[in-house]
Amino acid sequence: MKIFSGSNCKMLTHKLLEECNLPDESISELKIDKFSDGELLPQFTKSIRHEDVYLVQTSSSSDSIMEILLVADASKRSGCKSFNLISPYMGYARQDKTDHIRSSIGSKMLADIFEKVGISSLLTIDLHSSSIQGFYNIPVIHLNGNVIFIDYLKKLNFENLCIVAPDQGGIKKSIDLAKSFPDSTFAMINKKRIKPNEVHSMELLGDVKDKNVIIIDDIADTLGTIKKASSLIMDKGAESVRAIATHGVLSGKALENLSDSNLTELIVSDSIEGVNKINHPKLRVISSSRLISKTLIALNQKKSIHEINKI
């Protein structure tokens, strides 16, 4: 097993190599050169013939996707045994169906392209919709992002904990987290969205009075919805409100919204490397490296990953 880093996951790859007891020299064994016009040229500096190659790279931008495709092609042409993509955050996962007239299904298109270039398997965390796994005809290892945050949350020793689903789609994820907190209660936000990143109205279903609330979601993007939700929850008498999101996209006015929100803190994973560079008093980053490394070790030893992925 050889683990390499794409251009946007170097910090996470360092941690993975350390936890898998592998030398971190592979970080430098994959060079991504860039021409002045932006054209990418990946090159392996050492042989990878007959190796199981793993590339750690998010697929959140056009450049990162192109990089994955070129590295996959270089790997296959260099005689690797298999090429496996570790994409902690899968871009275009919000395009899993045609919600809008004459729109694309970006996640299906991405699956077709990845398969065509010869990717052997995909490892990812918290797809926006689990049905996306059905777009692939290769093994998809879909890790449970809740596992990343359990240890940290337990150290907080919450009393009167209430776990809140941000919408109907988040109910399953919220109930899964509640397994680790059997004394917690549950509530849900019912929201009406008129266009992407903009919520028209919302209402809280359930009692949060005097509760320490955790809103659980998969993606934290502009944080406009989280800002409104935290205000609504505090107005209903909550003691405190935190939010957990596996993927800290944090685009647009996200940091401004975070500062202006009633959140005590926003807790995200490092599935998107940019969050490690943000210095904000309300932002806490928990590494996904332990979950991924335990999965890789189990796969390499041909063991089941069921227990690793369970709350």
Residue 99, SS3 per DSSP:
coil
Which residue in 76, 108, 191, 282 is the catalytic one? 191
In order of 5, 87, 116, 214, 275, the CA distances from 113 in angstroms are: 20, 15, 5, 37, 28
Left (φ > 0), alpha (ψ -120 to 50) or beta: where does 301 sit?
alpha
Single out the residue of 135, 120, 52, 51 nearest to residue 90, CA to CA: 135
By the 10 Å C-beta count (0-12 exposed, 13-18 middle, 19+ buried), 172 is classed as exposed
What phi and psi values does residue 10 have, to the nearest 5 degrees? -70, -40
195 is a catalytic site residue: no
Three-class DSSP category at 140: strand
Rounded Cα gap, residues 238 and 210, in angstroms: 5
Rounded to whole angstroms, the Cα distance separating 293 from 17 reads 8
- Residues classed as catalytic: 191
